[in-house]
Structure 1
Amino acid sequence: MVNSTALLHYAARAGDHNDRAMAASPHLAAALASHLQTQPTVIGKASPSGPLNWDAELALALPDLKSLAASLDVGFNNKQHPVIVCSRCAVGLATLPVVARHVPDVLVVWFDAHGDLNTPATSGSGHIGGMALAGALGLWESGLGVGIKSVVLAGSRDIDAAEKPFIDGERVRLVSPGPGFVQELKAVVTGRKVYVHIDCDVLSPGQVPTNNKVPGGLSLVQLAEAAAAIAQVAEVVGVEVGELETGETEEETKVNAKVLVDTLGPMLK
Protein backbone atom coordinates (compact mmCIF):
# COMPACT_ATOMS: atom_id res chain seq x y z
CA MET A 1 0.00 0.00 0.00
CA VAL A 2 1.39 3.42 -0.99
CA ASN A 3 1.40 5.73 2.02
CA SER A 4 2.66 9.00 0.54
CA THR A 5 4.37 10.67 -2.37
CA ALA A 6 8.12 11.11 -2.73
CA LEU A 7 8.62 14.20 -4.91
CA LEU A 8 12.19 14.25 -6.19
CA HIS A 9 13.64 17.18 -8.12
CA TYR A 10 16.78 16.29 -10.04
CA ALA A 11 18.17 19.79 -10.54
CA ALA A 12 21.54 18.91 -12.05
CA ARG A 13 22.85 18.63 -15.56
CA ALA A 14 22.29 15.34 -17.39
CA GLY A 15 23.38 15.67 -21.00
CA ASP A 16 21.72 19.07 -21.37
CA HIS A 17 21.94 20.75 -24.79
CA ASN A 18 21.27 24.11 -23.18
CA ASP A 19 20.35 25.56 -19.78
CA ARG A 20 16.63 26.07 -20.44
CA ALA A 21 15.33 22.78 -19.07
CA MET A 22 17.44 23.07 -15.91
CA ALA A 23 16.03 26.58 -15.49
CA ALA A 24 12.44 25.37 -15.99
CA SER A 25 12.65 22.34 -13.70
CA PRO A 26 12.33 24.31 -10.42
CA HIS A 27 9.05 25.78 -11.68
CA LEU A 28 7.78 22.33 -12.59
CA ALA A 29 8.84 21.03 -9.19
CA ALA A 30 7.00 23.92 -7.51
CA ALA A 31 3.84 23.24 -9.51
CA LEU A 32 3.97 19.57 -8.54
CA ALA A 33 4.65 20.46 -4.91
CA SER A 34 1.52 22.62 -4.88
CA HIS A 35 -0.55 19.92 -6.59
CA LEU A 36 0.68 17.11 -4.34
CA GLN A 37 0.87 19.17 -1.13
CA THR A 38 4.40 18.02 -0.41
CA GLN A 39 7.89 19.48 -0.66
CA PRO A 40 10.47 18.17 -3.11
CA THR A 41 13.78 16.61 -2.23
CA VAL A 42 16.29 18.45 -4.42
CA ILE A 43 19.19 16.44 -5.83
CA GLY A 44 22.19 18.25 -7.31
CA LYS A 45 22.25 21.76 -8.65
CA ALA A 46 22.18 23.33 -12.09
CA SER A 47 25.46 23.95 -13.86
CA PRO A 48 26.21 25.53 -17.24
CA SER A 49 25.55 23.23 -20.17
CA GLY A 50 28.15 22.54 -22.80
CA PRO A 51 27.19 19.54 -24.89
CA LEU A 52 29.83 16.81 -24.76
CA ASN A 53 29.95 13.26 -26.02
CA TRP A 54 27.94 10.68 -24.07
CA ASP A 55 30.88 9.35 -22.04
CA ALA A 56 31.94 12.79 -20.80
CA GLU A 57 28.33 13.75 -20.01
CA LEU A 58 27.80 10.50 -18.10
CA ALA A 59 30.97 11.04 -16.08
CA LEU A 60 29.84 14.55 -15.13
CA ALA A 61 26.35 13.45 -14.15
CA LEU A 62 27.19 10.15 -12.49
CA PRO A 63 27.48 11.33 -8.84
CA ASP A 64 24.11 13.11 -8.97
CA LEU A 65 22.47 10.26 -10.89
CA LYS A 66 23.63 7.82 -8.20
CA SER A 67 22.20 10.14 -5.53
CA LEU A 68 18.89 10.18 -7.36
CA ALA A 69 18.87 6.39 -7.60
CA ALA A 70 19.57 6.13 -3.87
CA SER A 71 16.76 8.54 -3.00
CA LEU A 72 14.34 6.67 -5.25
CA ASP A 73 15.36 3.40 -3.61
CA VAL A 74 14.62 4.84 -0.16
CA GLY A 75 11.23 6.05 -1.35
CA PHE A 76 10.25 2.63 -2.64
CA ASN A 77 11.42 1.01 0.59
CA ASN A 78 9.19 3.45 2.48
CA LYS A 79 6.27 2.51 0.22
CA GLN A 80 6.14 5.99 -1.27
CA HIS A 81 4.85 6.84 -4.74
CA PRO A 82 7.71 8.51 -6.66
CA VAL A 83 7.18 11.59 -8.79
CA ILE A 84 10.40 12.84 -10.36
CA VAL A 85 11.16 16.16 -12.07
CA CYS A 86 14.24 16.36 -14.26
CA SER A 87 15.69 18.34 -17.12
CA ARG A 88 16.59 15.60 -19.61
CA CYS A 89 15.79 11.99 -20.49
CA ALA A 90 19.26 10.75 -19.52
CA VAL A 91 17.99 10.70 -15.93
CA GLY A 92 16.11 7.51 -16.88
CA LEU A 93 19.45 5.70 -16.83
CA ALA A 94 19.36 6.05 -13.03
CA THR A 95 15.65 5.76 -12.29
CA LEU A 96 14.50 2.82 -14.40
CA PRO A 97 16.84 0.17 -12.93
CA VAL A 98 15.63 1.08 -9.42
CA VAL A 99 12.02 0.83 -10.53
CA ALA A 100 12.72 -2.58 -12.10
CA ARG A 101 14.30 -3.84 -8.89
CA HIS A 102 11.29 -2.90 -6.79
CA VAL A 103 8.61 -3.71 -9.38
CA PRO A 104 10.04 -6.57 -11.47
CA ASP A 105 6.97 -6.89 -13.71
CA VAL A 106 6.75 -3.16 -14.40
CA LEU A 107 5.76 -1.87 -17.84
CA VAL A 108 7.53 1.38 -18.69
CA VAL A 109 5.35 3.77 -20.68
CA TRP A 110 7.84 6.05 -22.43
CA PHE A 111 6.11 9.17 -23.80
CA ASP A 112 8.71 10.65 -26.14
CA ALA A 113 9.00 11.83 -29.73
CA HIS A 114 12.08 9.59 -29.97
CA GLY A 115 12.86 5.98 -29.21
CA ASP A 116 15.95 6.67 -27.05
CA LEU A 117 17.11 3.18 -28.03
CA ASN A 118 20.52 4.10 -29.41
CA THR A 119 23.74 2.83 -27.90
CA PRO A 120 27.27 4.22 -27.98
CA ALA A 121 27.87 1.94 -30.97
CA THR A 122 24.82 3.08 -32.97
CA SER A 123 24.32 6.74 -32.03
CA GLY A 124 25.11 9.21 -34.76
CA SER A 125 25.05 12.19 -32.40
CA GLY A 126 26.73 10.75 -29.32
CA HIS A 127 23.94 12.32 -27.25
CA ILE A 128 23.38 10.43 -24.01
CA GLY A 129 19.68 11.28 -23.84
CA GLY A 130 19.10 9.20 -26.94
CA MET A 131 20.57 6.17 -25.11
CA ALA A 132 18.54 6.39 -21.89
CA LEU A 133 16.00 3.67 -22.53
CA ALA A 134 18.58 1.42 -24.18
CA GLY A 135 20.74 1.52 -21.06
CA ALA A 136 17.92 0.44 -18.75
CA LEU A 137 17.02 -2.37 -21.17
CA GLY A 138 20.58 -3.67 -21.03
CA LEU A 139 21.53 -2.81 -24.60
CA TRP A 140 24.67 -1.08 -23.33
CA GLU A 141 26.47 -0.72 -20.01
CA SER A 142 25.94 2.62 -18.31
CA GLY A 143 27.17 1.62 -14.86
CA LEU A 144 23.77 2.47 -13.36
CA GLY A 145 22.10 -0.91 -13.75
CA VAL A 146 19.54 -2.61 -15.95
CA GLY A 147 16.40 -4.65 -15.40
CA ILE A 148 13.58 -3.22 -17.49
CA LYS A 149 11.89 -6.02 -19.42
CA SER A 150 9.00 -4.36 -21.24
CA VAL A 151 8.38 -0.90 -22.67
CA VAL A 152 5.71 0.93 -24.61
CA LEU A 153 6.95 3.80 -26.75
CA ALA A 154 3.98 6.15 -26.57
CA GLY A 155 3.67 8.88 -29.19
CA SER A 156 7.13 8.22 -30.66
CA ARG A 157 7.59 9.17 -34.30
CA ASP A 158 11.25 10.12 -34.90
CA ILE A 159 12.96 6.75 -34.71
CA ASP A 160 16.42 6.09 -36.10
CA ALA A 161 17.09 3.16 -38.41
CA ALA A 162 19.40 1.59 -35.81
CA GLU A 163 16.59 1.67 -33.23
CA LYS A 164 13.92 -0.03 -35.33
CA PRO A 165 15.19 -3.63 -34.87
CA PHE A 166 14.57 -3.32 -31.11
CA ILE A 167 10.90 -2.45 -31.62
CA ASP A 168 9.55 -5.95 -31.97
CA GLY A 169 6.31 -5.95 -30.01
CA GLU A 170 7.76 -8.20 -27.31
CA ARG A 171 10.16 -6.17 -25.17
CA VAL A 172 9.44 -2.85 -26.90
CA ARG A 173 6.12 -1.97 -28.47
CA LEU A 174 5.29 1.22 -30.37
CA VAL A 175 1.97 3.03 -30.03
CA SER A 176 2.18 5.77 -32.63
CA PRO A 177 0.35 9.11 -32.40
CA GLY A 178 -2.74 9.51 -34.49
CA PRO A 179 -6.36 8.32 -34.52
CA GLY A 180 -6.93 5.60 -31.96
CA PHE A 181 -3.78 6.43 -29.96
CA VAL A 182 -5.49 6.57 -26.57
CA GLN A 183 -7.57 3.47 -27.21
CA GLU A 184 -4.55 1.41 -28.30
CA LEU A 185 -2.46 2.61 -25.36
CA LYS A 186 -5.28 1.81 -22.96
CA ALA A 187 -5.51 -1.73 -24.29
CA VAL A 188 -1.75 -2.26 -23.89
CA VAL A 189 -1.53 -1.04 -20.28
CA THR A 190 -4.74 -2.52 -18.90
CA GLY A 191 -4.10 -4.50 -15.74
CA ARG A 192 -0.37 -3.70 -15.67
CA LYS A 193 1.85 -1.95 -13.15
CA VAL A 194 3.25 0.99 -15.07
CA TYR A 195 5.99 3.54 -14.59
CA VAL A 196 5.39 6.58 -16.78
CA HIS A 197 8.12 8.72 -18.32
CA ILE A 198 7.10 12.00 -19.97
CA ASP A 199 9.39 13.85 -22.37
CA CYS A 200 7.54 17.02 -23.29
CA ASP A 201 8.59 16.68 -26.93
CA VAL A 202 5.98 13.93 -27.23
CA LEU A 203 3.67 16.91 -27.71
CA SER A 204 3.31 18.66 -31.03
CA PRO A 205 5.52 21.77 -31.32
CA GLY A 206 4.00 24.84 -29.70
CA GLN A 207 2.11 23.07 -26.90
CA VAL A 208 4.88 23.79 -24.37
CA PRO A 209 8.50 24.87 -24.95
CA THR A 210 10.90 21.99 -25.69
CA ASN A 211 14.34 21.63 -27.26
CA ASN A 212 13.24 19.14 -29.91
CA LYS A 213 10.32 20.05 -32.13
CA VAL A 214 9.00 17.01 -33.96
CA PRO A 215 5.77 17.48 -35.97
CA GLY A 216 2.87 15.09 -35.64
CA GLY A 217 2.84 14.67 -31.88
CA LEU A 218 0.13 14.67 -29.24
CA SER A 219 -1.95 17.62 -28.19
CA LEU A 220 -2.29 18.51 -24.52
CA VAL A 221 -5.85 17.21 -24.72
CA GLN A 222 -4.63 13.85 -26.05
CA LEU A 223 -1.97 13.64 -23.36
CA ALA A 224 -4.60 14.38 -20.72
CA GLU A 225 -6.85 11.67 -22.17
CA ALA A 226 -3.95 9.21 -22.15
CA ALA A 227 -3.11 10.06 -18.53
CA ALA A 228 -6.72 9.55 -17.49
CA ALA A 229 -6.91 6.24 -19.37
CA ILE A 230 -3.71 4.93 -17.76
CA ALA A 231 -4.92 5.90 -14.30
CA GLN A 232 -8.23 4.18 -14.96
CA VAL A 233 -6.98 0.77 -16.12
CA ALA A 234 -3.43 0.40 -14.74
CA GLU A 235 -1.57 0.73 -11.45
CA VAL A 236 0.77 3.71 -11.76
CA VAL A 237 3.84 2.97 -9.61
CA GLY A 238 5.63 6.21 -10.46
CA VAL A 239 5.96 9.14 -12.85
CA GLU A 240 8.92 11.13 -14.14
CA VAL A 241 8.69 14.21 -16.30
CA GLY A 242 11.31 16.32 -18.03
CA GLU A 243 12.36 18.27 -21.11
CA LEU A 244 10.12 21.26 -20.31
CA GLU A 245 12.04 24.40 -21.23
CA THR A 246 11.61 28.01 -20.16
CA GLY A 247 9.17 30.31 -21.91
CA GLU A 248 9.73 33.90 -22.93
CA THR A 249 9.10 35.08 -19.35
CA GLU A 250 9.21 33.54 -15.90
CA GLU A 251 5.43 33.87 -15.66
CA GLU A 252 4.99 31.97 -18.91
CA THR A 253 7.22 29.20 -17.58
CA LYS A 254 5.13 28.97 -14.40
CA VAL A 255 1.92 28.80 -16.45
CA ASN A 256 3.33 26.08 -18.69
CA ALA A 257 4.43 24.09 -15.65
CA LYS A 258 0.95 24.27 -14.11
CA VAL A 259 -0.70 23.31 -17.41
CA LEU A 260 1.55 20.27 -17.63
CA VAL A 261 0.81 19.22 -14.05
CA ASP A 262 -2.93 19.63 -14.61
CA THR A 263 -2.64 17.55 -17.79
CA LEU A 264 -0.90 14.70 -15.98
CA GLY A 265 -3.05 15.04 -12.85
CA PRO A 266 -4.90 11.70 -13.06
CA MET A 267 -1.61 9.77 -12.82
CA LEU A 268 -0.31 11.73 -9.83
CA LYS A 269 -1.07 10.44 -6.36
Structure 2
Amino acid sequence: MDQTVRVLGVPMDLGADRRGVDMGPSAIRYAGLADRLESIGQPCVDGGDIAVMRPEERDPDAASADLGHAKYVSETREVCEDVATAVSATVSDGEFPLVLGGDHSIAVGTAAGVADDRNTGLVWFDAHGDFNTPETTPSGNVHGMALAAILGVGPFADLAWAHTPRVRPENVALVGLRDVDDGERTLLGESRVSTYTMTDIDERGITDVVEEAIDVATRDVEQLHVSFDMDCLDPTEAPGVGTPVRGGISYREAHAAMERISSTAGTRLCSFEVVEVNPILDQHNRTAELATELVASALGQRIL
Protein backbone atom coordinates (compact mmCIF):
# COMPACT_ATOMS: atom_id res chain seq x y z
CA MET A 1 0.00 0.00 0.00
CA ASP A 2 1.33 3.40 -1.00
CA GLN A 3 -0.57 5.29 1.70
CA THR A 4 0.51 5.88 5.26
CA VAL A 5 -1.78 4.16 7.75
CA ARG A 6 -3.22 6.46 10.40
CA VAL A 7 -4.37 4.60 13.53
CA LEU A 8 -7.44 6.06 15.25
CA GLY A 9 -8.53 4.62 18.58
CA VAL A 10 -12.14 4.78 19.76
CA PRO A 11 -12.30 3.56 23.39
CA MET A 12 -16.06 3.12 23.27
CA ASP A 13 -18.11 0.82 25.48
CA LEU A 14 -21.42 2.68 25.46
CA GLY A 15 -22.87 0.35 22.83
CA ALA A 16 -22.26 -2.91 24.71
CA ASP A 17 -23.34 -4.60 27.92
CA ARG A 18 -19.97 -5.78 29.22
CA ARG A 19 -17.35 -3.34 30.43
CA GLY A 20 -13.75 -3.50 29.25
CA VAL A 21 -14.06 -3.15 25.50
CA ASP A 22 -13.08 0.51 25.88
CA MET A 23 -9.55 -0.78 26.56
CA GLY A 24 -9.44 -2.53 23.19
CA PRO A 25 -7.46 0.19 21.36
CA SER A 26 -4.78 0.20 24.04
CA ALA A 27 -4.57 -3.59 24.03
CA ILE A 28 -4.13 -3.71 20.26
CA ARG A 29 -1.44 -1.05 20.35
CA TYR A 30 0.30 -2.87 23.23
CA ALA A 31 0.23 -6.05 21.14
CA GLY A 32 2.66 -4.38 18.74
CA LEU A 33 0.46 -3.10 15.94
CA ALA A 34 2.79 -0.31 14.82
CA ASP A 35 5.88 -2.52 14.88
CA ARG A 36 4.11 -5.24 12.91
CA LEU A 37 3.04 -2.81 10.21
CA GLU A 38 6.49 -1.25 10.03
CA SER A 39 7.97 -4.76 9.68
CA ILE A 40 6.06 -5.27 6.42
CA GLY A 41 7.18 -1.88 5.13
CA GLN A 42 3.90 -0.16 5.85
CA PRO A 43 4.34 3.41 7.18
CA CYS A 44 2.16 4.03 10.19
CA VAL A 45 1.31 7.04 12.35
CA ASP A 46 -0.86 7.12 15.45
CA GLY A 47 -3.63 9.69 15.44
CA GLY A 48 -4.49 9.09 19.09
CA ASP A 49 -7.92 8.38 20.55
CA ILE A 50 -11.32 9.93 20.01
CA ALA A 51 -12.68 11.25 23.31
CA VAL A 52 -15.50 9.08 24.71
CA MET A 53 -17.59 9.92 27.76
CA ARG A 54 -17.77 7.41 30.61
CA PRO A 55 -21.05 5.52 31.02
CA GLU A 56 -20.99 6.19 34.77
CA GLU A 57 -21.49 9.86 33.97
CA ARG A 58 -24.58 9.31 31.82
CA ASP A 59 -28.05 7.77 32.02
CA PRO A 60 -28.41 4.92 29.51
CA ASP A 61 -32.18 5.24 29.49
CA ALA A 62 -32.39 9.02 29.17
CA ALA A 63 -35.09 10.14 26.77
CA SER A 64 -33.79 10.74 23.27
CA ALA A 65 -35.24 12.88 20.53
CA ASP A 66 -33.82 10.40 18.01
CA LEU A 67 -34.64 6.87 19.17
CA GLY A 68 -36.59 5.10 21.85
CA HIS A 69 -35.30 1.73 23.09
CA ALA A 70 -31.60 2.31 22.47
CA LYS A 71 -29.14 2.90 25.30
CA TYR A 72 -26.78 5.88 25.29
CA VAL A 73 -28.02 6.93 21.88
CA SER A 74 -27.23 10.63 22.30
CA GLU A 75 -23.72 9.82 23.51
CA THR A 76 -23.24 7.36 20.65
CA ARG A 77 -24.23 10.07 18.20
CA GLU A 78 -21.64 12.47 19.66
CA VAL A 79 -18.84 9.92 19.44
CA CYS A 80 -19.77 8.71 15.96
CA GLU A 81 -19.85 12.26 14.64
CA ASP A 82 -16.34 12.80 16.01
CA VAL A 83 -15.18 9.50 14.50
CA ALA A 84 -16.63 10.50 11.13
CA THR A 85 -14.80 13.84 11.27
CA ALA A 86 -11.47 12.19 12.14
CA VAL A 87 -11.84 9.51 9.47
CA SER A 88 -12.84 12.05 6.82
CA ALA A 89 -9.82 14.20 7.71
CA THR A 90 -7.56 11.16 7.41
CA VAL A 91 -8.90 10.43 3.93
CA SER A 92 -8.52 14.09 2.93
CA ASP A 93 -4.89 13.97 4.05
CA GLY A 94 -4.27 11.03 1.71
CA GLU A 95 -3.82 8.53 4.54
CA PHE A 96 -5.50 5.18 5.19
CA PRO A 97 -7.81 5.07 8.26
CA LEU A 98 -7.26 2.10 10.57
CA VAL A 99 -9.88 2.39 13.32
CA LEU A 100 -9.54 0.45 16.57
CA GLY A 101 -12.56 -0.25 18.78
CA GLY A 102 -14.21 -0.19 21.15
CA ASP A 103 -17.59 -1.76 20.55
CA HIS A 104 -19.07 -2.13 17.08
CA SER A 105 -21.28 0.95 17.32
CA ILE A 106 -18.22 2.97 16.25
CA ALA A 107 -18.70 1.58 12.74
CA VAL A 108 -21.52 4.08 12.25
CA GLY A 109 -18.96 6.87 12.47
CA THR A 110 -16.31 5.12 10.39
CA ALA A 111 -18.75 4.46 7.55
CA ALA A 112 -19.93 8.07 7.58
CA GLY A 113 -16.34 9.27 7.38
CA VAL A 114 -15.15 7.09 4.50
CA ALA A 115 -18.38 7.19 2.47
CA ASP A 116 -19.00 10.90 2.81
CA ASP A 117 -18.83 11.61 -0.92
CA ARG A 118 -18.02 8.27 -2.60
CA ASN A 119 -20.14 5.14 -3.07
CA THR A 120 -18.62 2.54 -0.77
CA GLY A 121 -19.00 -1.21 -0.43
CA LEU A 122 -18.82 -2.91 2.94
CA VAL A 123 -17.66 -6.36 4.03
CA TRP A 124 -18.76 -6.90 7.62
CA PHE A 125 -17.19 -9.84 9.48
CA ASP A 126 -19.33 -10.74 12.49
CA ALA A 127 -20.93 -13.63 14.36
CA HIS A 128 -24.01 -11.43 14.77
CA GLY A 129 -26.26 -9.60 12.35
CA ASP A 130 -25.98 -6.16 14.01
CA PHE A 131 -29.26 -5.56 12.20
CA ASN A 132 -31.60 -4.84 15.08
CA THR A 133 -33.55 -1.61 15.39
CA PRO A 134 -34.94 0.04 18.53
CA GLU A 135 -38.17 -1.89 17.85
CA THR A 136 -36.55 -5.33 17.55
CA THR A 137 -33.57 -5.16 19.92
CA PRO A 138 -33.78 -7.47 22.95
CA SER A 139 -31.04 -5.55 24.79
CA GLY A 140 -31.12 -1.91 23.68
CA ASN A 141 -27.38 -2.09 22.93
CA VAL A 142 -26.45 0.00 19.91
CA HIS A 143 -23.57 -2.27 18.88
CA GLY A 144 -26.29 -4.72 17.82
CA MET A 145 -27.88 -2.08 15.59
CA ALA A 146 -24.80 -0.64 13.85
CA LEU A 147 -25.26 -2.14 10.40
CA ALA A 148 -28.98 -1.37 10.40
CA ALA A 149 -28.14 2.22 11.33
CA ILE A 150 -25.63 2.62 8.50
CA LEU A 151 -28.18 1.32 5.99
CA GLY A 152 -31.03 3.46 7.33
CA VAL A 153 -33.28 0.61 8.41
CA GLY A 154 -36.43 1.61 10.27
CA PRO A 155 -36.10 4.81 12.32
CA PHE A 156 -32.44 5.18 11.35
CA ALA A 157 -33.52 6.31 7.87
CA ASP A 158 -34.14 9.85 9.07
CA LEU A 159 -31.00 10.20 11.21
CA ALA A 160 -28.22 11.97 9.33
CA TRP A 161 -25.59 10.97 11.89
CA ALA A 162 -26.36 7.26 11.45
CA HIS A 163 -27.65 6.59 7.95
CA THR A 164 -24.95 6.62 5.27
CA PRO A 165 -26.73 6.74 1.88
CA ARG A 166 -23.55 6.08 -0.09
CA VAL A 167 -23.38 2.61 1.47
CA ARG A 168 -26.13 0.71 -0.33
CA PRO A 169 -27.48 -2.63 0.96
CA GLU A 170 -26.76 -4.37 -2.35
CA ASN A 171 -23.06 -3.58 -1.74
CA VAL A 172 -22.95 -5.00 1.79
CA ALA A 173 -21.77 -8.53 2.58
CA LEU A 174 -22.07 -9.98 6.09
CA VAL A 175 -19.63 -12.86 6.70
CA GLY A 176 -19.44 -15.34 9.60
CA LEU A 177 -23.03 -15.24 10.85
CA ARG A 178 -24.09 -17.79 13.45
CA ASP A 179 -26.13 -15.91 16.09
CA VAL A 180 -29.05 -13.87 14.71
CA ASP A 181 -32.07 -12.55 16.63
CA ASP A 182 -35.56 -13.24 15.28
CA GLY A 183 -36.18 -9.59 14.43
CA GLU A 184 -32.84 -9.33 12.65
CA ARG A 185 -33.59 -12.47 10.66
CA THR A 186 -36.76 -10.88 9.32
CA LEU A 187 -35.11 -7.56 8.51
CA LEU A 188 -32.12 -9.21 6.82
CA GLY A 189 -34.47 -11.36 4.76
CA GLU A 190 -36.26 -8.23 3.57
CA SER A 191 -33.03 -6.40 2.75
CA ARG A 192 -30.65 -6.67 -0.18
CA VAL A 193 -27.68 -7.41 2.10
CA SER A 194 -25.76 -10.55 1.11
CA THR A 195 -25.32 -12.90 4.08
CA TYR A 196 -22.81 -15.71 4.53
CA THR A 197 -23.24 -17.97 7.54
CA MET A 198 -20.78 -20.39 9.05
CA THR A 199 -22.66 -23.11 7.21
CA ASP A 200 -21.76 -21.39 3.93
CA ILE A 201 -18.13 -21.26 5.02
CA ASP A 202 -18.22 -24.94 6.03
CA GLU A 203 -19.70 -25.98 2.68
CA ARG A 204 -17.85 -23.65 0.32
CA GLY A 205 -14.64 -22.71 2.11
CA ILE A 206 -13.58 -19.32 3.40
CA THR A 207 -11.76 -18.14 0.28
CA ASP A 208 -14.72 -18.76 -2.03
CA VAL A 209 -17.09 -17.01 0.37
CA VAL A 210 -14.84 -14.00 0.89
CA GLU A 211 -14.13 -13.60 -2.81
CA GLU A 212 -17.87 -13.54 -3.50
CA ALA A 213 -18.41 -11.10 -0.63
CA ILE A 214 -15.77 -8.78 -2.09
CA ASP A 215 -17.36 -9.05 -5.52
CA VAL A 216 -20.75 -8.09 -4.05
CA ALA A 217 -19.31 -5.21 -2.06
CA THR A 218 -17.24 -3.73 -4.90
CA ARG A 219 -19.78 -4.01 -7.72
CA ASP A 220 -20.26 -0.56 -9.26
CA VAL A 221 -18.68 1.28 -6.34
CA GLU A 222 -15.46 3.22 -5.99
CA GLN A 223 -14.06 1.78 -2.78
CA LEU A 224 -14.32 -0.91 -0.09
CA HIS A 225 -14.44 -0.63 3.70
CA VAL A 226 -13.90 -3.69 5.93
CA SER A 227 -15.38 -3.86 9.42
CA PHE A 228 -13.98 -6.78 11.42
CA ASP A 229 -15.59 -7.85 14.69
CA MET A 230 -13.25 -10.20 16.54
CA ASP A 231 -16.19 -12.31 17.68
CA CYS A 232 -16.47 -13.67 14.13
CA LEU A 233 -13.62 -15.93 15.19
CA ASP A 234 -14.14 -19.02 17.30
CA PRO A 235 -13.72 -18.23 21.02
CA THR A 236 -10.89 -20.77 21.24
CA GLU A 237 -8.93 -18.40 18.97
CA ALA A 238 -10.27 -15.07 20.27
CA PRO A 239 -11.47 -15.44 23.87
CA GLY A 240 -11.34 -11.71 24.66
CA VAL A 241 -14.67 -10.60 23.20
CA GLY A 242 -17.88 -9.59 24.94
CA THR A 243 -20.29 -11.79 22.98
CA PRO A 244 -18.48 -15.04 22.10
CA VAL A 245 -20.31 -17.68 20.06
CA ARG A 246 -18.96 -21.19 19.54
CA GLY A 247 -18.36 -22.53 16.05
CA GLY A 248 -16.66 -19.55 14.47
CA ILE A 249 -13.91 -18.85 11.97
CA SER A 250 -10.59 -20.54 12.69
CA TYR A 251 -7.18 -18.91 12.96
CA ARG A 252 -6.07 -19.99 9.51
CA GLU A 253 -9.44 -19.18 7.91
CA ALA A 254 -9.25 -15.67 9.31
CA HIS A 255 -5.80 -15.10 7.84
CA ALA A 256 -6.91 -16.54 4.50
CA ALA A 257 -9.87 -14.15 4.52
CA MET A 258 -7.65 -11.15 5.19
CA GLU A 259 -5.18 -12.24 2.52
CA ARG A 260 -8.09 -12.32 0.06
CA ILE A 261 -9.12 -8.85 1.15
CA SER A 262 -5.62 -7.63 0.37
CA SER A 263 -5.14 -9.44 -2.93
CA THR A 264 -8.66 -9.24 -4.37
CA ALA A 265 -9.83 -5.82 -3.16
CA GLY A 266 -6.44 -4.30 -3.89
CA THR A 267 -6.35 -0.55 -4.25
CA ARG A 268 -10.10 -0.24 -3.67
CA LEU A 269 -9.62 -1.04 0.02
CA CYS A 270 -10.04 2.43 1.53
CA SER A 271 -10.27 1.73 5.27
CA PHE A 272 -10.32 -1.00 7.90
CA GLU A 273 -11.63 -1.26 11.42
CA VAL A 274 -11.26 -3.94 14.07
CA VAL A 275 -13.61 -3.95 17.05
CA GLU A 276 -14.82 -5.72 20.19
CA VAL A 277 -11.44 -6.65 21.72
CA ASN A 278 -12.04 -6.86 25.48
CA PRO A 279 -8.78 -7.37 27.41
CA ILE A 280 -10.62 -7.99 30.69
CA LEU A 281 -12.02 -11.18 29.18
CA ASP A 282 -8.86 -12.09 27.28
CA GLN A 283 -6.08 -14.57 28.02
CA HIS A 284 -2.61 -12.97 28.00
CA ASN A 285 -3.72 -10.45 25.35
CA ARG A 286 -4.20 -13.24 22.80
CA THR A 287 -7.16 -11.61 21.08
CA ALA A 288 -5.42 -8.27 20.67
CA GLU A 289 -2.31 -9.99 19.32
CA LEU A 290 -4.44 -11.88 16.81
CA ALA A 291 -6.11 -8.61 15.81
CA THR A 292 -2.70 -7.13 14.94
CA GLU A 293 -1.84 -10.20 12.87
CA LEU A 294 -5.09 -10.00 10.91
CA VAL A 295 -4.70 -6.29 10.23
CA ALA A 296 -1.22 -6.98 8.87
CA SER A 297 -2.56 -9.74 6.60
CA ALA A 298 -5.29 -7.41 5.30
CA LEU A 299 -2.63 -4.78 4.55
CA GLY A 300 -0.28 -7.05 2.67
CA GLN A 301 1.69 -9.39 4.95
CA ARG A 302 2.37 -12.79 3.41
CA ILE A 303 4.16 -15.97 4.47
CA LEU A 304 6.58 -15.67 1.53
Q: Does structure 2 conserve the Cα–Cα contact (< 8 Å) formed by 1:17 and 1:51? A: no
Equivalent-residue separation in structure 2 for 1:129 and 1:176 (angstroms)? 19
Aligned to 2:245: 214
Equivalent-residue separation in structure 1 for 2:226 and 2:175 (angstroms)? 10
Aligned to 1:138: 152
Equivalent-residue separation in structure 2 for 1:181 and 1:259 (angstroms)? 18
Equivalent AA in structure 2 for residue 28 of structure 1: I
1:43 to 50, 61, 72: 50
Deviation, 1:22, is 1.1
Equivalent-residue separation in structure 2 for 1:41 and 1:102 (angstroms)? 25
1:88 to 103, 108, 126: 103
Equivalent AA in structure 1 for residue 147 of structure 2: L
User: Normalising to structure 1: TM-score of the pair?
Assistant: 0.88
Are residues 168 and 182 of structure 1, via their aligned partners in 2, closer, same or farther at CA, if it must alter by over 3 Å? farther
CA RMSD of aligned residues (A): 2.6
Q: Does structure 2 conserve the Cα–Cα contact (< 8 Å) formed by 1:14 and 1:91? A: no
Equivalent-residue separation in structure 1 for 2:196 and 2:225 (angstroms)? 16
Equivalent-residue separation in structure 1 for 2:35 and 2:113 (angstroms)? 26
Aligned to 1:183: 208
Q: Does structure 2 conserve the Cα–Cα contact (< 8 Å) formed by 1:116 and 1:134? A: yes
Q: Does structure 2 conserve the Cα–Cα contact (< 8 Å) formed by 1:8 and 1:85? A: yes
1:52 to 60, 63, 87: 60
Deviation, 1:126, is 1.5
Q: Does structure 2 conserve the Cα–Cα contact (< 8 Å) formed by 1:13 and 1:46? A: no
Q: Does structure 1 conserve the Cα–Cα contact (< 8 Å) formed by 2:178 and 2:197? A: yes
Deviation, 1:2, is 5.6
Matched, 1:79 2:94: yes
Q: Counterpart of 2:177 in 1: which secondary structure?
A: coil
Q: How does 1:1-269 map to 2 (within 5 A)?
A: 3-30=3-30, 31-36=32-37, 37-45=44-52, 47-48=54-55, 52-53=60-61, 55-104=70-119, 106-139=120-153, 140-141=155-156, 142-144=159-161, 145-147=163-165, 148-149=167-168, 150-168=171-189, 171-177=192-198, 178-179=201-202, 180-190=205-215, 192=218, 193-208=223-238, 209-234=240-265, 235-246=268-279, 252-253=284-285, 255-268=286-299
Identity %: 23
Equivalent-residue separation in structure 2 for 1:62 and 1:35 (angstroms)? 33
Q: Which has the larger displacement, 21-30 or 79-88?
A: 21-30
Q: Counterpart of 1:171 in 2: which secondary structure?
A: coil
Q: Which has the larger displacement, 108-117 or 178-187?
A: 178-187
Q: Counterpart of 1:163 in 2: which secondary structure?
A: helix
